[in-house]
Amino acid sequence: MAIPFPPLGALTVDRFLSQYWQKKPVLIRGLFGNWTCPISPEELLALAAREDADSRLILTGSEPVELYHGPFEDGELGDLPETEWTVLVQEVDRLDPRVAELLGWFRFLPNWRLDDIMVSYAAPGGGVGAHTDRYDVFLVQGHGRRRWEIETTPRHDPVWREDSEVAQLASFHPDESWVLEPGDVLYLPPMIPHNGVALEPCLTLSVGCRAPSTSEMLSGILAYVAEEGSDEDRHTDPDLEPDGDPGRIRPEVLASLRSRIRSAMADDEALDRWIARYVTEPVRGHSGPPPRRWIPPATIRRRLEAGAVLVPSVRSQVAWVDHAEAGITLYASGQAYAVRSGGPALAALLAGSEPIDAARAAGPMNDPVQSELITSLVNAGVLALRGA
């Protein structure tokens, strides 16, 4: 599937980022002009049977709706009613490289800002109900038609129905509505109330973003700092003087404890290293690279020469940082890899959107340090050899 240039068509990336991104919804009609959706409804239902897939079935015909979690064994999805149900599978980009290619259209966003591609199949009348999402989403219509209704004003404090197992808004008053056809894309910033109902059997791909919350990061960084720190690093007061009021915690004691807490977080580079690992870590339990394997550099070279390409196995989880002390470091699935040779050009190649073919890989594979890094990325499952 060739990625058009500019990737957002007539809208252009500049106009999208300045006028819509994180600001307001936009419908991009026919963005994927002569596009054929890379996955069929049957293939999606087959994925919903896999142990390593995160899948859900929602029956919308009952009130309140019924929610079931996969994996759904063969046949379990065979006897469903004609209407009013939907099956949703998270991280289909990880399970199907053809779907992962779709991420190539969104490379105007930083890798780490993208999460996954969730794919849903809905029978007529099916959908997940009106809700808000905490993250930006591009809703790409794959097969069939779907009516999307939205409230154009974000709701930062949504009130949820208490009787539903599925997060559904207690009230919904749409002020915009569109029927999406295959190839149409609806972008929604966070917290925009939306509801998509299938008009006919339909498949929707949701390209979802991620954005760490401060409290999420704080709980992670505090656990990390606590683990790294020493239990012996403790308050001392050899100059303690008598104070007529033993019930009082003196201001200078508070200041000293405050400064202990702050100095534990004062190392910017350590924070940056933690952040880069955190934002490239898999969001869900199922994700992350496949188990380690051993493919020697000679095999990688041979496969590349035979026409294979290297692609990131989970693209949204590869990023790099140029640290003042640690130097250029590649982060993938929460792990750090030092880029000791090859500089920013190699880091950008390894974290980039272009598949790495024999011609691109030739220089790095002829440098022992760079080829060792590429080999360890392949063996860790961060880079996958595709084709040939």
Q: 137 vs 321, which CB is nearer to ligand SIN? A: 137
CB 70 within 8 Å of CB 55: yes
Distance CA 214, CA 43 (A): 38
The phi, psi pair for 228, rounded to 5°, reads: -70, -35
Q: 84 vs 349, which CB is nearer to ligand SIN? A: 84
Residue of 196, 289, 312, 364 interacting with ligand SIN (CB under 6 A): 196
Binding of residue 129 to ligand SIN (CB under 6 A)? no
Q: Buried (b) or exposed (e) across 56-76, using 16+ Cβ within 10 A?
A: bbbbbeeeebeeeebebeeee
Distance CA 219, CA 207 (A): 27
| For the chain, the helix, strand and coil percentages under 3-state DSSP, each to the nearest 5 | 30, 25, 45
Q: 196 vs 364, which CB is nearer to ligand SIN? A: 196
Binding of residue 137 to ligand SIN (CB under 6 A)? yes
Binding of residue 141 to ligand SIN (CB under 6 A)? no
Residue of 101, 133, 267, 367 interacting with Co ion (CB under 5 A): 133
Lateral strand order in the sheet of 327-332: 318-323, 327-332, 335-338
Residue of 86, 90, 316, 317 interacting with ligand SIN (CB under 6 A): 86
CB of 62: closest distance to Co ion in angstroms?
Answer: 21
Tell me the CA end-to-end span of the chain in Å, nearest whole number: 18
Length of the chain: 388
Residue 204 interacting entry, from ligand SIN, Co ion, none, C-beta within 5 to 8 Å by type: ligand SIN
Binding mask 306-345 for ligand SIN (x = CB under 6 A): ----------------------------------------
Q: 76 vs 133, which CB is nearer to Co ion? A: 133
Binding of residue 357 to Co ion (CB under 5 A)? no
Distance CA 4, CA 377 (A): 29
Q: Where are the beta strands (DSSP E) in the chain?
A: 26-28, 55-59, 66-69, 85-89, 114-122, 137-143, 146-150, 176-180, 185-188, 194-198, 202-209, 309-312, 318-323, 327-332, 335-338, 383-386
Task: List own/partner pairs for 218-224 with CB under 8 A and 24 or more apart.
Answer: 220/274, 220/278, 221/265, 221/271, 221/274, 224/274
Closest residue to Co ion, judged by C-beta, is: 133
Q: 169 vs 382, which CB is nearer to Co ion? A: 169
CB 332 within 8 Å of CB 380: yes
Binding of residue 44 to ligand SIN (CB under 6 A)? no
CA angle 142, 138, 136 (to 5 degrees): 155
Q: 66 vs 133, which CB is nearer to Co ion? A: 133
CB 94 within 8 Å of CB 313: yes
Q: 120 vs 370, which CB is nearer to Co ion? A: 120
Residue 120 interacting entry, from Co ion, ligand SIN, none, C-beta within 5 to 8 Å by type: ligand SIN
In the region spanning residues 148 to 187, those forming contacts with Co ion, defined by CB under 5 A, are none
CB of 234: closest distance to ligand SIN in angstroms?
Answer: 48
Binding of residue 120 to ligand SIN (CB under 6 A)? yes
Q: 128 vs 349, which CB is nearer to ligand SIN? A: 128
CB of 100: closest distance to ligand SIN in angstroms?
Answer: 18
Closest residue to ligand SIN, judged by C-beta, is: 120
CB of 181: closest distance to ligand SIN in angstroms?
Answer: 15
Binding part of the chain for Co ion, among 129-137, 175-183, 207-215, 328-336 by CB under 5 A, reads 129-137
Give the residue among 27, 15, 38 at the shortest CA–CA distance from 185.
27
Widest distance between CA atoms in the chain: 83
Residue of 43, 66, 101, 133 interacting with ligand SIN (CB under 6 A): 133
Residues forming the site for Co ion (CB under 5 A)? 133
Q: Which residues bind ligand SIN (CB under 6 A)?
A: 86, 120, 127-128, 133, 137, 194, 196, 204, 206
